[in-house]
Structure 1
Amino acid sequence: MTTYDEWTAAQETATVTVDDHDLEMAYRDEGSGDPVVFLHGIPTNSFLFHSQFEAVAEHRRAIAPDMVGYGQSAMRDGFDRSIRAQELAVRGLVDALGLGAIDFVGHDLGGGVGLRYAARTPDAVDRLVLSNSVAYDSWPIQTITDLGLPETARETTPEELEEMLDGLFRQTLLADDPDETFLEAMTAPWTSEEGVTSVVRNASATNTSHTTEIDPTAVTADTLLLWGTEDEFQPVEWAERLEADVGTAELVRLEADHWVPEDRREAFEEHVLDFLV
């Protein structure tokens, strides 16, 4: 299994502009052919898709960025990290790499970005995969709302945050003995004072208006909903609503908690390959 150090060593960076802020965006870019963009959510990073990314890159050009404020992308304080801003950042990266129309795979907040991207510019997304994605007013959840309180950044040490996030993942991964390499990859970016502030700012930027303001019926991309049925954060009822509203959508239910790409690596990979390749 790829380690987080190996993953980050293979990343490149590009400068994207969001609301007049020039921000470094880290990303993996492998393979050739029509592009597929993978986008993670909170509080993860692009390593979330390591298995599926490598499988798709054998057939297509695969691009997996860290959202700004996450992973190895810009973490300094003082810029917006909302879904609206993340959409702008992804569009900036797509432009910088000259990708044109893309296929999009999004989980959690990354799915919310993909939903906005595909609804606002239907011709820019050919195929869309949403996995336990935020949508409508399904979010923010209480855990993230509490994390986003300003005093959390002032009063939480990196060690305390690492312990809290490690516990969160252990409690919400389906396996009783989750992969330690995966857990390390999910917590490693936050183990500094800058990381603490950044994850708190990311949490405080969860604005439900950025999904309620768009109309999912505007999505014309062929859409696959890969949903973990054991998820308490984004229950499958939201996927059922998306399936009803997005005319091209097909819902596939998987026995998984919220972190479906990790809980069901092989099944997720198989469904994504069947859909995209």
Structure 2
Amino acid sequence: MHRRDFLRTMGATFAAGTLLAAARGVDAAAMTSAGTTKLDAAAYRRRRRYARLPCGDIAYLDHGSGPAALFLHGFPLNSFQWRGAIERLSLQRRCIAPDWMGLGYTRVAAGQSVAPAAQAAMLAALLDALGIDAVDVVANDSGGAIAQLFVTRYPQRVRTLLLTNCDVENDSPPAALLPVIEMSRRGEFVDRWLAPWLADKALARSAQGIGGMCYQYPEHPSDEAIDYYLAPLCADGQKPLVHAYALGLAPNPLAGIEAALRRCTVPTRILWGTADDIFSQASPDYLQRTLANPRGVRRIPGAKLFFPEEYPDLIAEEARHLWATS
């Protein structure tokens, strides 16, 4: 094909894609080079949906097509944590990313528990509501603890499991989280930590903020991510639920799970940031020798707890490989 004909063909293809995007209500300027939607905060907010369940109105993203993948976020984040990975994986998977009860934009029913066991039950109800039988699970932080509860209670609903830095039975809750739990017991955590970070983005990214504690690179989290994560948690009506979420992490929600994990034949890949000083660096090896069908450990040098937000290409690469070989 001559170069002029090639360029004409490519231009027509792009125009057709732009028209299709417009017909679907997608901003063509927000399309990535791969043809998927760029999930900045504005796009994520527009795409947020709610599933009305007995436990509350569960906020979630439903993006992409193919077999379903379920993305489980950390504390005190919400599903926006997975935006980069979802952008990259939405051509292979229907990506479902809920906000936990007590975090993000989920509206919790009165009297509803937000402890990890209740969160696992919520996931099953959400998948039922969406007509999804089985998922590939990708999880981080306390989302990893809930993922372990989910896979041992509903093993037939999980095809594969990709775990990043998270709780394990002998490190849950980690010692570094105990001050947060104690502040939450006194009803002070949001006002003492989260509200100042929301008001001062530089503080949030400092060594004393969530950035220095949980991210490798000093530009993270971005201003829009801080707003998207923390603004709903600092609302007066939401603060007790945030504290309840933290209190649900103690006593150990994974106590006694090891025997069930030893019977768990779901293919499980483990990714672990080596600079995380919240969860033990011995935990990935514990998981590798405990699970019945481990697929190895990959350590990410210098990465901290919330590295999945900073390494979306790595998450996508590992997820694709796990899915293709399981």
In the superposition, the TM-score normalised over structure 2's length comes to 0.77
Please list every run of at least 4 consecutive aligned residues from structure 1 whose deviation after the TM superposition is greater than 4 angstroms: 153-158
Counterpart in the other structure of 1:92: 125
Candidates 254, 258, 262, aligned match of 1:211? 254
Q: Which moved more, 1:26-35 or 1:42-51?
A: 26-35
Size of the alignment, in residue pairs? 273
Q: Which amino acid aligns with 2:312?
A: R
Change (3 A) 1:152 1:161: farther
Q: Which residue of 1 aligns with 2:299?
A: 253
Q: Name the residue aligned to 1:26.
A: 59
Q: Hey, what does 1:16 align to over in structure 2? A: 53
Deviation at 1:253, TM superposition (A): 0.7
Cα deviation for residue 24 of structure 1 reads: 0.8
Of the structure 1 ranges 69-78 and 163-172, higher mean CA displacement relative to structure 2 is found in 163-172
Aligned mates of 2:194, 2:168 — CA distance in 1: 31
Does the aligned pair in 2 maintain the 1:8–1:72 contact within 8 Å?
Answer: no
Equivalent runs, 1:223-262 vs 2, <5 Å: 223-249=268-294, 250-255=296-301, 256-262=303-309
| Closer/same/farther in 2, CA of residues 225 and 155 from structure 1, 3 Å limit | closer
1:177 counterpart letter in structure 2: E
Match of 1:117 in 2: 150
- The sequence identity of aligned pairs, in percent, is 23
* Counterpart AA for 1:236: Q
Show structure 2 runs of 5+ residues with no match.
Answer: 1-37
Between 180-189 and 29-38, the greater mean CA deviation after superposition: 180-189
1:163: Cα distance to partner?
5.3
- 1:76/1:14 Cα in 2 relative to 1: closer, same or farther (>3 Å)? closer
Q: Distance in 1 between matches of 2:282 and 2:100?
A: 27
Amino acid at match of 1:59: Q
**In terms of mean alpha carbon deviation, does 142-151 or 53-62 score higher?**
142-151
Deviation digits for residues 2-31 of structure 1 (CA, Å, limit 9, x no counterpart): 3323212201111223xxxx3110111122
| Largest Rg, 1 or 2 | 2
Query: For 1:124-135, what aligned pairs fall within 5 Å after superposition?
Result: 124-135=157-168
Return the structure number with greater relative CO, CA threshold 8 A, min gap 6: 1
Q: CA deviation at 1:92?
A: 0.6
- CA drift of 1:153 comes to 6.6
- Shift, 1:187, TM fit: 1.9
Which runs of 5 or more structure 1 residues have no equivalent in the other structure? none
Hey, what's the Cα distance between the residues in 1 that align with 2:76 and 2:183? 10
The residue that corresponds to 1:274 in the other structure is: 321
Are 2:94 and 1:61 equivalent residues in the alignment?
yes
Q: 1:83 touches 1:206 (CA, 8 Å); kept in 2?
A: yes
Per-residue deviation, 1:76 = 6.6
Q: For residue 53 of structure 1, what is the amino acid of its counterpart?
A: I
Deviations 1:245-275 (A, max 9, x none): 0122111111200002123232222222222
Between 141-150 and 195-204, the greater mean CA deviation after superposition: 141-150
Asked if the contact 1:76–1:194 (Cα under 8 Å) also holds between the matched residues in 2, the reply is no
| Distance of aligned partners of 1:155 and 1:31 in 2 relative to their CA distance in 1, 3 Å threshold | closer
TM-fit CA distance, 1:207: 3.1
- Specify whether residues 239 and 208 from structure 1 end up closer, same or farther in structure 2 by C-alpha distance, changes over 3 A only: farther
Alignment deviations for residues 109-161 of structure 1 (CA, whole Å, 9 cap, x no partner): 11111111112232221100111121103122224313321332797597446
In structure 1, what is the equivalent of residue 235 of structure 2? 192
Distance in 2 separating the partners of 1:143 and 1:263: 26
- Give RMSD over aligned pairs: 2.3
